[in-house]
Structure 1
Amino acid sequence: MKLLSVAIPCYNSAEYMDHAIETLLTGGKEMEIIIVDDGSKDDTRKIADNYAAKYPDIIKSVHQENGGHGEAVNTGLLHATGLYFKVVDSDDWVNEDALRQVLDKLQELAEDGQSLDLMIANYVYEKPSINKHKVMDYKTALPKGKVFTWNDIMHFKQSQYIIMHAAIYRTKLLKDCGLKLPKHTFYVDNIFVYQPLPFVKTMYYLDVNLYRYFIGREDQSVNEKVMLKRIDQQIRITKIMIECHDMSQIKNKKLRNYMTKYLCMMMTVSSVYLIRDNTKESLEKKEELWDYLKKADKKLYTRINNMFLGRSMNLPGKAGRKIVDIGYKISKKIYGFG
């Protein structure tokens, strides 16, 4: 069995996918790299097939009709045979030295018989256009150097939510929990991280800067203008996450609090963009989203509405607009644009 399966969702990625693949290849034969061509119209298919022919023991080339990022992740997981699973987007890459440390630690834990459900590593916002990068770590939120549980987690800052770029899940856990991302929808990475959380019993934080998250393409889903255009998809993802779990059944208090704050963040992001758009239609969508939460889980609605960010999304006047600006700055930190 391979140690780590990595899915690379690709759609018209011919110009930049090589970099992601080449950095992952440094992991050697412990790696399984699954290139998922999501109905591309450029040379993505050809490039993927060439890599698979050159590295048949490491790379799989899979082709499908266009189904969007989420469906490409679903396909990658379906074909994954490694002990652990990670997603690397085709315009991103990994640090080779950090990858080696991740593989060594996963192997060490496996050999010691320690069951691990989730490994978390740092990620880096890369903005080549202004020669800037920003490391996002979990030093103040998670214990280092040991396998830990939800009881051991500490305080998460707004910028420290565990996102797809930081997560390496046990493959069997993802399959057993029934993870299936929606087709033709952006921002599915939030579901990828959020839905499996109640099934996670053991974690390990490795303080290395593994994932390099490229920021700068105009058509990128986290670009502010693009997010405004796709706000309906952001809302859809938020609603799916609300329906994912009955929060009253999450018995671990720290896990329940973390998941509630994560949902509060999702509600805030959607609300901020709808308020900033400031049209009648957008403001009605904001009200509808909060009503949806209230009808789905009144206790959860009350908890989120009593949080500072949740409550601030419904404040009127100048004070309300000022708080929305704060929420917007938090959104920028979470998504790395601007």
Structure 2
Amino acid sequence: MYLITFAVPCYNSAGYMRRCIDTLLTGGEDVEIIIVNDGSTDETGKIAREYAERFPNVTAVNQENGGHGSGVNKGLELARGLYFKVVDSDDWLETAALHTLLDTLWEHLEQDTPADLYLTNFVYEKVVENARFVRRYTENFPQGRLFGWNEVKRFRNSNVLLMHSMLYRTDKLRESGVVLPEHTFYVDNIFAYKPLPYTKKLYYMNIDLYRYYIGREDQSVNRENIVKRYRQQIRVMKEMLNAYSYRDLNKLQSGLSQYMKHDLGVVMTLTMMFTTGGKENIAERKIALKELWENLRRKDEKMYSYLRRSYPALVNWLPFRLCGTVMSCGYKFFRNKLKCS
């Protein structure tokens, strides 16, 4: 039995994917690695095949280009591990932390106390500048024991759970029915949101497991790229809003309900930030943002009211260009604080 399936979506990743895969291989026979070559035009497929031929726990999959979400979907479809984690091909895991995680999983299985969702820290790594920032959750979660959402403390400001911090039970992911849209960036927001109501038992480990590489010009989280791809950000926002209504969220445990509303507020803020932050196609951007809010008001007026009241979504009441300026300043402050751009 594999404890963890690691899905590694790859697109033209030949220049850096080996570091990622080599760190996953340190998990030994406890881990399964599924490398999804998403229509690459470089040697990504060749490298994936090399690993699959050398290691019995590595599977190489070739598919037509469908985007990051398509790679995650394929990995989940094929996963045989008890738990499932996505590791982007330009990122990597800390070996000592991975061993600590695996030891903990085995201990919990032997005691018949496995969690539905394991949570760890992740590290923003800007290798070029030798700068890093650790995202910890010590103020939000108990440590060293199982807990439920009722014990989760309030998340504040921009702090949310990201895909990098999460290890789901595979059956819980499948039960949630999460399927990520294809040809769309930023779908990790959906992955870190939609399955949450299916997780009842949580366990937080204060270890710096995931290393999140920041700095490539072609990276999807590069500000210029997000501003250009604002429609994809809007699509992700719509998917999240469609997953659960405001009434649905109110039926959940208070800690989970509170967190999921907070998460929506953060993602809505990002959506507004990158829709208003562009200097091109201003008229189209105005229409797209107006349609997002109007559709939400028609479908779920309570959610609409909640998000309109949420800081800093309140800046939406400002004129469009001023809203973009305020949002851009906030983004730059956040990124400088993390030393990520």
Q: Does 1:71 align with 2:87?
A: no
The 5 A counterparts of 1:80-119 are: 80-119=79-118
| Kept in 2: contact 1:158–1:330 (CA 8 A) | no
Shift of 1:68: 0.8
Structure 1 counterpart of 2:163? 164
CA distance in 2, matches of 1:141, 1:208: 15
Match of 2:294 among 291, 294, 313: 291
Structure 2 counterpart of 1:262? 263
Task: Give me the TM-score of the superposition, normalised by structure 1.
Answer: 0.94
| Further displaced range: 216-225 or 320-329 | 320-329
Q: Secondary structure at the match of 2:312?
A: helix
Alignment-mate amino acid for residue 36 of structure 1: V
Task: State the identity as a percent.
Answer: 44
Shift of 1:142: 1.1
1:231–1:325 distance in 2 versus 1, CA, 3 Å: closer
1:77–1:317 distance in 2 versus 1, CA, 3 Å: closer
1:155-200: CA deviations, max 9, x gaps? 2133431100001000011111111111111001001111101111
Structure 2 counterpart of 1:55? 55
Q: Secondary structure at the match of 1:141?
A: coil
Q: Does 1:154 align with 2:153?
A: yes
| Kept in 1: contact 2:276–2:323 (CA 8 A) | no
Structure 2 counterpart of 1:134? 133
Q: Secondary structure at the match of 1:268?
A: helix
Q: Secondary structure at the match of 2:161?
A: coil
Q: Does 1:313 align with 2:321?
A: no
| Kept in 2: contact 1:313–1:324 (CA 8 A) | no
Structure 2 counterpart of 1:37? 37
CA distance in 1, matches of 2:266, 2:330: 9
Runs (5+) with no aligned partner, structure 2: none
CA distance in 2, matches of 1:88, 1:171: 15
| Kept in 1: contact 2:94–2:209 (CA 8 A) | yes
| Further displaced range: 285-294 or 307-316 | 307-316
CA distance in 2, matches of 1:153, 1:242: 22
| Kept in 2: contact 1:309–1:327 (CA 8 A) | no
Alignment-mate amino acid for residue 313 of structure 1: N
Alignment-mate amino acid for residue 285 of structure 1: A
Q: Does 1:212 align with 2:211?
A: yes
CA distance in 1, matches of 2:65, 2:325: 41
Match of 2:305 among 290, 302, 306: 302
1:334–1:152 distance in 2 versus 1, CA, 3 Å: farther
Shift of 1:42: 1.3
Shift of 1:332: 3.7
Q: Does 1:271 align with 2:246?
A: no
| Kept in 2: contact 1:120–1:167 (CA 8 A) | yes
1:216–1:34 distance in 2 versus 1, CA, 3 Å: same
1:249–1:40 distance in 2 versus 1, CA, 3 Å: same
Q: Secondary structure at the match of 1:277?
A: coil
| Kept in 1: contact 2:245–2:303 (CA 8 A) | no
Structure 2 counterpart of 1:2? 2
Structure 2 counterpart of 1:239? 238
CA distance in 2, matches of 1:95, 1:7: 16
| Kept in 2: contact 1:222–1:337 (CA 8 A) | no
CA distance in 1, matches of 2:73, 2:273: 30
Task: Give me the TM-score of the superposition, normalised by structure 2.
Answer: 0.94
Shift of 1:335: 9.3
Shift of 1:253: 2.1
Shift of 1:323: 4.7
| Kept in 2: contact 1:268–1:313 (CA 8 A) | no
Alignment-mate amino acid for residue 88 of structure 2: D
Q: Secondary structure at the match of 1:168?
A: strand
1:194-232: CA deviations, max 9, x gaps? 110111111111000000001111010000110011000
